[in-house]
Structure 1
Amino acid sequence: MSFSALGLAPSLAQAAHSSGLMAPTAVQQQAIEVVLQGRDLLACAPTGSGKTAAYVLPLLQAWMLGEAQRLHGPRQAQALILVPTRELAAQVAELIYVLGEASGRRPKVAVLTGGVSINPQLMALRGGADMVIATPGRLLDVVAHSRLQLKNIRTLVLDEADRLMDQGFADELGQVLALLPGTQARQTLLLSATFAPSVQALAAGWLRADHARVMIEPSLQQDADIMQRAIYIDSGRRTALLHDLAVQHAGQRMLVFVASRYSAEHVANKLYDRKINATAFHGDLSQGARRQVLDEFKNSQWQVLITTDLAARGIHVDSLPLVVNYDLPRSPADYIHRIGRTGRAGQSGLAISFVTPASQAHWRLIARRNALEIALETLPQYPVTEPAPARQPHEDGDRGGIKGRRMSKKDKLRAAAAQARTQGDGGSGTR
């Protein structure tokens, strides 16, 4: 099937092809026609399956049709794309830019995210914008400081909707929705790689009754492009094994996930001291530093990037061959997001998870929840000597070493700020 067969204008179909999108993916085949019809959408598809293009292409087509009818004067935003991270906002904006440029007509896009000064973003909004890409907190700040109006929004997109709908963003998201036209007066698109049943039930209340559901099998176990391994190892010997992997895969980039910002710096420093070109990437870095580190990694200036779950969603790195879970993700669903950074766009990839005696029960939970059948390996050069701890009851009835859903420090700050606002003390949430 071609993009033009989905109802896209010839210029956009050609733009997709010239931008490297040779044929629509499964989620694009099902979603693009729905969006072009003006229907609401709930789409769940694996990372790397093309969800962003599935809504960007029809949004561009709607803008092109409306632009021909627009009279002279300030632009009024017709589409609002909400995302949970600055990195995803930049990636969506880049795709809009590339496809718009290739089609010969590029909309004015405002990117509103925290971590940088608000003043340049306010300046960029002079004369209006056709599309707004924003994190919820910064969007509210901009609305409070400028004349940005959301009453004309025709299409609302929640990219990584499950993350936006969790407790950390709930208060800010509710405030944004209150500024938009009602459910019946707008088109709403919710997209993510994972949707818990509880989130799906909540999302249904935000969608019109005739909304479409697109569910692409999220399990990566049958995906031949990603080979998955699980290695049983003592906690204290993980850095040595990571060093060995970096040597074995010399010349290939590695994305390594750890549990905390401190661990990212600590492990990166340990590897760097042992002549491995490694650096850390986490939320304590300034926006400029985060952008620089990510660009340097994409350009292969760093072999190993040690990161928190900040890089688990929305970040695309071309031809990333290896992902390592140095620490297992807290939520079983985040396993899918993490390893989905490799094996993208039809390329092969390898995902390795380190399983310690303390995390073995949690690994079993991750495997069960994601229908994984991965043998737990023990390497002869790294015999396991640490005793397994006494098993503790898991919060949802399963037995695991780590809770499946634990609030991060940032989420706790957001929740505290929301409570402060409710009590009327004027507090502000983390952006």
Structure 2
Amino acid sequence: MPTTGLARPPARVHVIGAGLAGLSAAVALTDRGVPVVVSEAARQAGGRCRSFHDGVLDMVIDNGNHLVLSGNTAVHRYLRAIGAEGRLTGPDRAEFHFFDLQLGERWTLRPSDGALPWWILDPERRVPGTRPRDYLALLTLLRRHPGRRIDEVIRCDGTLWDKFLRPVLLSALNTAPEEASADLAGAIVRETFAKGGRHIRPLVATPSLAAAFVDPALSRLERGGADIRFGRPLRAMRIDGDKVLGLTFDDGEETLAPQDRVILSVPPWIARTLLPGISAPDAFHAIVNAHFRIVPPTEAVAMVGLIGGTAEWVFAFHDRFSVTVSAADRLIDRETETLALLLWRDVAIVHGLTGPVPPHRIVKERRATFSATPAQASQRPSVRTAWTNLFLAGDWVDTGLPATIEGALRSGEAAASLAFGTGMAGR
């Protein structure tokens, strides 16, 4: 049975996994003076939000294009805590550029700053061909719809759906929106569009994901005395009754002291092997990213959403174009050169480019996020577990949000709060 808040601060907390959820938990605990041991199976931190030097392109690239929004409160708390507040860049006001590849039509969505959505009355600021009453769909999504799909609560057709709602929800949920959870979609709307343009400015990590989210966190942890160990996968947990008593790594077992606690921040399929019987999502969708080494034209906008192509979002950096395709299961097994040709063709059309495909790198994440359907959302576990000294973190636990950076960081905060013994966590 779930337990109440623990009475005394821990002697030590083992954080298993150094993705963003694990880093968030470790930073929060270190800031409270709690001794922390971070064990990561890989040779680097960051999980799916990682950066690396690519030998083909001879440049540092991110595994994917991870967009955050100005209203993501956990993102800003985390960046302040690690001293990286200036590592996100984006427009001064909310604006989203789109290009219809079939019609050759461009437009820019420009929400007004405040919560009152007067922008939908201005044809120059809303999606071309839409009417103000079309946007009532957003009001419908604001309400709670437990266990229902998006296509059960709003119409999934028409200009607004095709040219705005579908591409935005697809990227946020990484699931075909028609079959995705209406509650998860509603969480996005409530925390962003319902609060106005000041909360939905698109922001990207600069100069890289690692530079914004990972490296400053590791530095903060090292300054705080955290013990960080890479190449250290957890193989088993020794459990007796309602407590974890020991952790078995490749380099041996660590016996836990009575006040030690554990935050398990690993992918759900690993959590299920370590804790048989635990509830966790078991269906996933892929994301495909492509990076092209070519200097974008000076007039290229930072981010463009595409309608009717293979590519879905095109990002222009100072030294490359990057492309993201969500729910990309259909593409995951395509040959690299075929994918590069398909995706570059879309980039070239949008930006008026000619010539051969530039040097490129295709990055595939086969199990990028859990499938954001009502059925899979119902399998997300709480941060709190049936074991009094064990807590879960990750974008797949029940944060109320889809599998996003914001959700991952919130889960880490919640796990740290419970592990510390305050009981001041959300879900």
Give the structure-2-normalised TM-score.
0.29
Q: Normalising by structure 1, report the TM-score.
A: 0.29
Higher helix share: 1
